Structure 1
Amino acid sequence: MKIMLFVCGEGLGHTSRCISLAQQMKASGHEVLMGAYGYSKDLIETKGLRTAEMVPEIQLVGDSGSLDIKSSVIATIKSGQFLRIGKVHRMLKDFDPDIVVSDSYYTGIFSAWMRKKPVYLMVNQSNMEEFFMGKSFFMRSLGKITKRFYTMVFRKVDGIIVPDFPMPDTICKYNLDLEKRVLDSVFYSGPLVGKKYREVREAELKRPHVLSTIGGFGYREPLFHKVIETARLDRNINYTLLSGPSIDSDKFTSLPENVTIMKFIEDQFPYLKSSDLVIAPGGHSMMMEALSFGVPILSFPDMGHSEQENNATSLEEEGCGKRLDYSISPKKLLDHIHQLIENDAYKEKAQYLRSLSHALNGPEAITEMIESKYLNQGSQKKS
């Protein structure tokens, strides 16, 4: 079977989960072509996966820890990228897949419909109009148009894949607003994680250990420094901080001995397995990876980013982490770190979700579901 897998490149969470899915599809004997762009495309290619270059659908703009929706819309229109969708259609025509899977990349969905191909939408958010609430009349109107758009998409696709734990443990549940008429087409696959817990060898790290994926660039830089100040308050807790490729880690000349800064980790799963706690933004895929490895999370969602804020709220309600904000003091942050490391209830809930992730096996579950749908469609055509 030939499978086209489109990837939304806004945030590497989409990329990491699509890599996991593509690897499983290849292992199951299918021919897979991934459509991606930017750094997302580069990362996919390092995994040895066949990739075609797509065009971005949206450009995100933010400042001081918040997402600026109006500026993002204006930047997207000015870029003119949406005028190049013909490139996507031509690529789909040349590859001629049997089935299309699109991770929040809607241009790929419309191209699949034009080619009369079965198409499945992978999504962890279906209430995008929240981004436009409380804004100007123009922005609220744009939000209503957006809702009508994706409601139509949800009705017409062949299936909707939610790469999360099934209800009631779904972390992205507050980001889902699905009509009753489409619920039968929704498939909760479980997390899409690149490696299985039992296959990963722990990194040699001093415990207790905190892994922070808060980058040190742009509006997250103040929080990055705040984590370092927190580490100074208790030298018995060890930290690995990911700064991102744009930060020169050599400039940090007076780090406490319990802090290590790294630009990038090629394989972060050994670090996850050796950590007692993760400090992260509110991105869905990072949460799925940490919880699939049984690690509680302190989440700092970007302000004004309703999807991340909802994820963090659900995380706290589920008892596997806490939602915090950028204004927190180092002393208060240390209190939360102690609580999540020392309170068995958080660890037990995270360990339960690790077991559930293993049982669900998201990449394999999606592959088997698509195979079954494809075979059923073939049988129906013959009859």
Structure 2
Amino acid sequence: MKILISVCGEGFGHTTRCVAIGDELSKEHDVKFIAYGKSMDFIRRYNYDVFETYPEIKLSGNNGKFDIKKSIFNNKYNPAKAIKREMEIIRKYNPDLIISDCKYSTVVASRFLRVPYYIITNQNCTRTHNKEKIIVYPVMKLLNVINKSAEKVIIPDLPMPYTICEYNLTELNNLSFIGPLIRYNLNNNSSNNDDDSNGGNIGNYDNNNSSNNNRNNNSYNNYPHVKEDYILSVIGGFEYRFRILKLLNEVSKEKNIKVKMVCGSYEVAKKLNKIKSPNVEVIPLTTNMEELIKNCSFIVCHGGHSTLMEAISFGKPVITIPDLDHPEQENNAKKINELKCGIALSHKTLEHDLSNAVDEISNNNIYFKNAKKLSKICRNCNGRDNIKK
């Protein structure tokens, strides 16, 4: 069978889970991709054939704040242009099936040409009380009309009540929860042994291990629950998140702890290298993310769904710092907080809270314990196996 996978290239989250899909389906089928920009370059590193297309949106923001209006309504990125290009690609490749990861121009093209399609998404109803709802709600309503027409809407997340994207979903008859779709095959991973020696349920808070009385630590030697010797930052290469990296750099210097920062951008890496503390390693891009995640103590990220799926799959706690006014990331972070496998922070109080959150996770075993329990559930709900089915 010929399968065409189309990827929204805004951030690497959509791209990495589509690489996982390609990895599994190409064992039995002919697989090609539709992508653009850095996403296209990334997929080609895995030796897949990629048809180049155009973006339909472009994420925009400033100083940690996501601008949904500029992201969607931008004259430079025309969905009609993308639809036309993708219809040409579909006619040329003539696939039996199309899988679209939030690239709705491809879905429209597939519908015009009457090719069956699946949709991969982790949001179809982003709940928010912010003013952005006047844009978000009508857009989601329109997308759900399209979602209902798909063979299946595949949710690459754990089933309830452990669904990280729970607050970004509404029920549709064709929803299917298949488990995390991450780049790495957990069945080949021996580093994810579950340690249930402390017992307990996900979400229970261990007051006895709280770090409230232990804020003066200055190195990992004083952090009893830290498993490895560095924090992994995967904040991503958008310029408006640079403030987080600067603050994390200061925390690294203040506490004498190692931080590895994967930037996703040579431009951001260049700026960081000018100010970084001796304990910080700046990594512009990497093809070795699996080892970085496996060997870190915990992860600092912006709350993107795919990054959170990778973190819990490997049993790593997280500090999430969602973009301001980005309801999808804020909802993911809320669920991480509720499951007590991480801590959600706000940009508004980051100068004070980031340092405390590092202490809290490092000293409180409940986050490590709950993250390990989620990793066990991930192994039993393997997205790679389920996507083939």
Residue 322 of structure 2 corresponds to 301
Alignment counterpart, residue 321 of structure 1, candidates 324, 342, 350: 342
Structure 1, unmatched stretches of 5+, are: 369-383
Query: Are residues 1:117 and 2:106 paired?
Result: no
**How many Å separate the matches in 2 of 1:207 and 1:6?**
37
> How far does residue 87 in structure 1 lie from its aligned partner after superposition?
1.8
The answer (yes or no) to whether the contact 2:56–2:82 under 8 Å persists in 1 is: no
Say yes or no: does 1:283 pair with 2:276.
no
Aligned equivalent of 1:242: 262
What are the residue-to-residue correspondences of 1:28-39 with 2, within 5 Å?
A: 29-39=28-38
Q: Which residue of 1 aligns with 2:382?
A: 361
Q: Aligned letter for 1:134? A: K
CA apart distance, 1:95: 1.5
Partner of 2:60: 61
1: CA distance, partners of 2:140 / 2:352: 42
User: Retained in 2: the 8 A contact 1:216–1:224?
Assistant: no
Aligned partner letter, 2:255: D
Taking the aligned partners of 2:271 and 2:84, their CA distance within structure 1 comes to 45
Note the 1:1-383 alignment, pairs <5 A.
1-27=1-27, 29-75=28-74, 77-128=75-126, 130=128, 134=131, 140=134, 143=136, 145-178=138-171, 182-183=172-173, 185-197=174-186, 199=188, 207-215=228-236, 218-235=239-256, 237-243=257-263, 244-249=265-270, 252=273, 255-328=276-349, 332-368=353-389
Counterpart-to-counterpart distance in 1, 2:360 and 2:336: 15
- 1:373 corresponds in structure 2 to none
Cα contact 2:242–2:268 (8 A) shared by 1: no
TM-score w.r.t. length of structure 1: 0.85
Q: Would the aligned equivalents of 1:229 and 1:330 in 2 still touch at CA under 8 Å? A: no
Residue type matched to 2:158 in 1?
A: F
In the alignment, which residue of structure 2 is the partner of 1:376? Answer: none
State the AA in 1 paired with 2:179: G
Paired with 1:12 and 1:319, the residues of 2 have a C-alpha distance of 26
Distance 1:42 1:256 in 2: 31
- Equivalent pair of 1:200/1:273 in contact (CA under 8 Å): no
Amino acid at match of 1:32: V
Contact persistence 1:215–1:221 (CA under 8 A): no
Checking the alignment, whether the CA contact within 8 Å between 2:64 and 2:243 is kept in structure 1 is no
The runs of 5 or more residues in structure 2 that have no matched partner are: 192-226
CA deviations over 1:145-192 (Å, ceiling 9, x no partner)? 4244222112211111000111110000000023xxx33x21111111
| Distance apart, 1:130 and its partner CA | 4.9
Question: Matched residues in 2 for 1:47 and 1:284: separation?
Answer: 22
Q: 1:134 to 1:249 in 2, by over 3 A?
A: closer
- Sort the Cα spacing of 1:208 and 1:57 in 2 relative to 1 into closer, same or farther, 3 A: same
Question: Cα offset for 1:219?
Answer: 1.6
Per the alignment, do residues 252 and 57 of structure 1 end up closer, same or farther by CA in structure 2, a change over 3 Å counting? closer
Distance 2:138 2:7 in 1: 23
The list of structure 1 runs, each at least 4 consecutive aligned residues, that deviate by more than 6 angstroms after superposition, is none
Structure 1 counterpart of 2:295, one-letter code: S
The amino acid that maps onto 1:193 is: I
Alpha carbons of structure 1 residues 160 and 277: separation in structure 2 relative to 1, 3 Å? same
Query: 2:36 & 2:327 partners in 1: Cα distance?
Result: 25
The structure showing larger relative contact order (alpha-carbon pairs under 8 Å, at least 6 residues apart) is 2
Shift of 1:332: 3.7
In structure 2, the CA distance between the partners of 1:51 and 1:155, relative to structure 1 (3 Å rule), is: same
Q: What are the superposed Cα offsets for residues 208-250 of structure 1, whole Å, 9 maximum, x if unpaired?
A: 3200112476221121111011112221x32112233113548
SS in 1 for 2:244: helix
Q: CA deviation at 1:201?
A: 8.3
- The 1-side partners of 2:371 and 2:161 are apart by 15
Higher alpha-carbon deviation: 343-352 or 11-20: 343-352
Letter in 1 for 2:35: A
Are the counterparts in 2 of residues 200 and 270 from structure 1 also a CA contact under 8 Å? no
Would the aligned equivalents of 1:62 and 1:68 in 2 still touch at CA under 8 Å?
A: yes
The 10-residue stretch of structure 1 (54-63 or 312-321) with the greater mean CA deviation from structure 2: 54-63
Report the residue type matching 1:293 in the other structure: F
Provide the C-alpha distance between the structure 1 equivalents of 2:318 and 2:329, rounded to a whole number of angstroms.
13
Q: How far apart in 2 are the matches of 1:223 and 1:312?
A: 16
